[in-house]
């Protein structure tokens, strides 16, 4: 269920100002470039909590959180132009699970994504059937590897130095895409008409901790084409 984003909340405004200050500090050199990503991610994590805080029930306690960047929906229009990345944060309390989806501008100059809307959603733990492991074959990677291998063989006589490297790269990609599927977890709702919430990077410490606190669904991964 979607819930409102409390943009006018003082705590929310404070963390947004903190993010603006970090961007300004990066431009002026007051914030070192090496520290900027960590400081920004810490501020984003606190911003997510500030967005959720007005919706918490009396006595509701934080239990865990998991943050991940999903990447681009599509290739950027220009290779020289930075664009925002899709990002998700999961916040678990002792009663509910919240999901905040937003655009993560990894650098101040990054452009926005027109087709990615910031949303805040919530589900009660009683509405969750559990966590199920999923996997998908990397058909796109396998096809790209096969294409590279075919190109290397086709141009073998003209690629005296790079032929072997291209052939090995293509073969490795084809084997990797076909033999090693991508894996993730899915938080499954009790209502079969509602979509599950995929959890990428579930092997991270924060992901393992959060998923361990949720009920377990019936075992058995579900293969899908990717």
| 2-14 pLDDT, tens digit each | 998 887 899 999 9
User: Higher pLDDT residue, 82 or 174?
Assistant: 82
Q: Rounded to an integer, what distance in angstroms lies between the CA atom of residue 94 and that of residue 103?
A: 27
Residue 96 tokens, joined: 């509910």
The structure's pTM equals: 0.73
Which regions of 76-192 does DSSP assign to beta strands (E)?
Answer: 85-93, 96-104, 119-124, 128-137, 182-189
Q: Which pLDDT does position 152 carry in this prediction?
A: 65
Q: Rounded to an integer, what distance in angstroms lies between the CA atom of residue 25 and that of residue 141?
A: 39
Q: Which pLDDT does position 221 carry in this prediction?
A: 44
Confidence of residue 98 (pLDDT cuts 50, 70, 90): very high
Q: Which pLDDT does position 156 carry in this prediction?
A: 65
User: Higher pLDDT residue, 73 or 156?
Assistant: 156
Rg of the chain (C-alpha set): 21
pLDDT digit string (tens) for 58-95? 999 999 999 988 764 444 433 434 777 888 999 999 99
Alpha-carbon distances of 16 from 47, 53, 83, 172, 180, rounded to whole Å: 7, 15, 19, 44, 41
SS3 of residue 192 by DSSP? coil
Out of 65-69, 88-92, 137-141, 178-182, which region has the weakest mean confidence (pLDDT)?
A: 137-141
Q: Which pLDDT does position 133 carry in this prediction?
A: 76
Q: Rounded to an integer, what distance in angstroms lies between the CA atom of residue 216 and that of residue 212?
A: 8
- CB neighbours of residue 51 within 10 Å: 25
Asked if 125 and 189 touch (Cβ cutoff 8 Å), the reply is: no
């Amino acid at each position: 269920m979607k819930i409102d984003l409390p943009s006018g909340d003082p705590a929310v405004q404070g963390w947004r100002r903190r993010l603006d200050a970090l961007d300004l500090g990066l431009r002026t050199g007051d914030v070192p470039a090496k520290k900027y990503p960590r400081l920004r991610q810490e501020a984003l994590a606190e911003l997510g909590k500030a967005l959720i805080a007005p919706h918490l029930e009396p006595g509701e306690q934080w239990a865990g959180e998991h943050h991940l960047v999903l990447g681009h929906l599509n290739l950027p229009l220009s290779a020289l132009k930075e664009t925002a990345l899709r990002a998700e944060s999961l916040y678990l309390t002792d009663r509910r699970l919240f999901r905040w989806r937003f655009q993560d501008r990894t650098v101040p100059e990054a452009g926005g994504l027109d087709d990615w809307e910031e949303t805040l959603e919530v589900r009660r733990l009683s509405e969750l059937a559990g966590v199920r492991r999923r996997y998908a074959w990397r058909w796109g990677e396998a096809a790209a590897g096969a294409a590279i291998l075919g190109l290397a063989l086709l141009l073998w006589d003209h690629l005296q130095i790079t032929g072997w490297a291209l052939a090995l790269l293509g073969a490795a990609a084809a084997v990797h895409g076909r033999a090693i599927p991508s894996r993730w977890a899915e938080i499954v709702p009790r209502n079969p008409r509602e979509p599950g919430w995929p959890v990428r990077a579930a092997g991270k410490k924060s992901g393992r901790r959060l998923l361990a606190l949720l009920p377990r669904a019936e075992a058995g991964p579900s293969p899908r084409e990717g």
